[in-house]
Amino acid sequence: MDVEQVVTELYGLRPAQFVAARDAYVARARREKDTAGARRIGSLRKPTLALWAVGLFARARPGEAEGLLRLGAQLRTAHRELDGARLRALSREQHKVIDALARDTVRLAAEAGERTTESVLREVERIFHALLADEEAGRQWLAGRLTAAPRSPVGFEGVQPAPSAAAAARKPPEPAALPPEPEAKPKPKPSARAKRRPEPEPPPPARDAAAERRAREREGRVRAARRAAAEAGAERERAEADLAEAAGALERARSEAEAAREGLRALQLRLEAAEKAEGAAQKYHHRAESAAQKAGKAAEAAARRLRAEETGDG
């Protein structure tokens, strides 16, 4: 069994079809004594609606998917080279591109019969942003084998998700530009005596050092908060996948129980019909047996009369 081909096929199915198809492949791998394949396929988790929709987009629009990955490569290069101007330009571009791709993705999902919500749209955007930073996940996505949403990038400037519309609405207005400062008057040339005096050293920039320390501390807190948010998001996704799989198992169990109840009702009806047929057959047997006894007695009497006539005893 080609396990990678099976993975591609499974993650191309709609989420509601995933578990039954996965379990069927696991059973087949076990029949074929493919223990490693059965273990690998059995470990696959049912995709969230957002993850399935992102995979659907990659299969339906491979050219645009490759364009997103090229943008990610450019962002990573600019980040490595500390090219601030290039990072800012690419960051603005990625927000526009991902917004358009995410909306196309939910439209494709709707056309395929899956209803999406605003939270699914936000999760699709998050996955696209994470794919920009994770080259390996991008390759898996393009091949149709992305089995889990990649972690959100932490500390990757220019690859953070765009703010939501509500957050943008809450953003305070930019401060008005300050008027230009008046040109400084030229300082008078120092006298020869003043030149001989050493100029006093400027005071240490205590305030700037404190500001830098606060900025570093704030940056550390931001990084920690991003890591915590990424871990919480991943945990939520795992919990949602577990919940979806449990819901699928419950639905299958309910279907099997209903089928068993239907089978039991059918058997009960067959039993009642068989019992009625048995009663009717029993009555028919009694009547036939009585008729056979009467016919036997009549035949014996007729035989006796025949013998009597033949011997003249009558």
Kindly give the confidence (pLDDT) of every residue in the chain, 314 residues in length, as a single tens digit, with 9 standing for 90 and above.
899 999 999 999 999 999 999 999 999 999 999 999 999 999 999 999 999 999 999 999 999 999 999 999 999 999 888 888 898 999 899 999 999 999 999 999 999 999 889 999 999 999 999 999 999 999 999 999 999 999 876 545 444 444 444 344 444 444 444 444 444 445 555 554 444 555 555 554 445 777 877 888 887 787 777 766 666 655 665 665 556 556 555 655 565 666 567 667 767 778 887 788 888 888 888 888 888 888 889 888 888 888 888 887 65
CA 171 to chain centre: 32
pLDDT of 194: 46
88, 145 Cβ separation under 8 angstroms: no
pLDDT of 162: 42
Query: Quick one: CA dihedral 202, 205, 207, 208, positive or negative?
Result: positive
How far apart CA 272 and CA 268 sit, in angstroms, is 6
What contacts 24+ positions apart, CB below 8 Å, involve 29-34? 29/1, 32/1, 34/1
Q: Write down the pTM of the prediction.
A: 0.51
pLDDT of 160: 45
Grouping H, G, I as helix, E, B as strand and the rest as coil, residue 50 is helix
Closest to 91 (Cα-Cα) out of 74, 103, 104? 74
**Helices within the chain (DSSP H only):** 3-10, 15-31, 35-42, 49-60, 62-80, 84-111, 118-133, 135-142, 165-170, 192-196, 206-311
| Chain position carrying tokens 């992102």 | 54
Residue 173, C-beta contacts closer than 8 angstroms, at least 6 positions apart: none
What's the angle, vertex CA 96, arms to CA 157 and CA 77, rounded to 5?
35
